[in-house]
Amino acid sequence: MNYEIKQDGKFKYLEEGQGEPLMLLHGLFGALSNFQFLIEHFRKTNLVVVPMLPLLEMDLLHTSVGGLAKFVHKFIEHRDYTGIHLLGNSLGGHVALVHILKHPERIKSLTLTGSSGLFENGMGDTYPKRGDKEYIRNKTALTFYDPAMATDELVNEVFEITNNRLKVIKIIALAKSAIRNNLGEELSNIQQPTCLIWGNNDTITPPFVGKEFNKLIPNSELHFIDKCGHAPMMEVPEEFNRILGGFLEKLKAAPATI
């Protein structure tokens, strides 16, 4: 499905549907295609918002988890969203965490899936190898339980990024920033209801990471999905949407606490 990418000032974003805002933050190699099933499902009940994160457009000094979190804050303020259900996958989850810790006032709930912020297995010390498409294909396949999910289209997207020297430097800068920026001691400050949706076969942020988030975030619930890797909303979209939908429905029924 083709979506209209809107522009408001320096911000590019997707906005579909009506209702309480459901804001989606993608990961390091993320794109709109990662959230296709999620957008289609929740645009019927929510205002689904996907800001285009400038992962590879920021100057090198600000190419960090903190830099992205500042960008998200400015976007939310500029668009004046309130009562946001904030969802992040992988690096996007990490950005969501940094944002909610600094600016909790507009956030109604948090959903993390395969989030960094505590622990992650990187792509490996040799990553990325420029010009080696088979290497990129194998690394991309590690994101999923089913390697067939690493389609030619997805591999080509990643390959194009990793074939640009400046983009590679920025990817490495973001990855190192994520590893340095461990939030373990701050997570107890999150007051919003939090839904953790984890793939049981995630090798990048393994299941124990989901359990640790669950232990450290006070008002959190943890759901595991079998035969699923690092991107549950792509690999097992129906189950992911069912869990998220149930979580959001519970919040509608509950009295406001924030």
What pLDDT is stored for residue 1 in this prediction?
Answer: 62
Other beta carbons within 10 Å of 219: 12
> Domain map of the chain by residue range?
12-121+182-251
Residue 12 CA, chain-centre distance (Å), reads: 17
Top CATH class, 12-121+182-251:
alpha beta
**Rounded to whole angstroms, what are the CA distances from 193 to 87, 212, 251?**
12, 16, 8
Q: What is the mean pLDDT of residues 156-173?
A: 84
pLDDT tens for 73-91 read 999 999 999 999 999 999 9
CA quadruple 114, 64, 99, 2: dihedral sign? negative
Q: Per-residue confidence at 245, pLDDT binned at 50, 70, 90?
A: very high
CB 21 within 8 A of CB 85: yes
pLDDT tens for 192-218 read 999 999 999 999 999 999 999 999 999
pLDDT tens for 117-130 read 998 765 444 444 55
Whether the model pTM is above 0.85: yes
Q: Among 122-126, 166-170, 177-181, 196-200, name the most confident range.
A: 196-200
What pLDDT is stored for residue 129 in this prediction?
Answer: 53
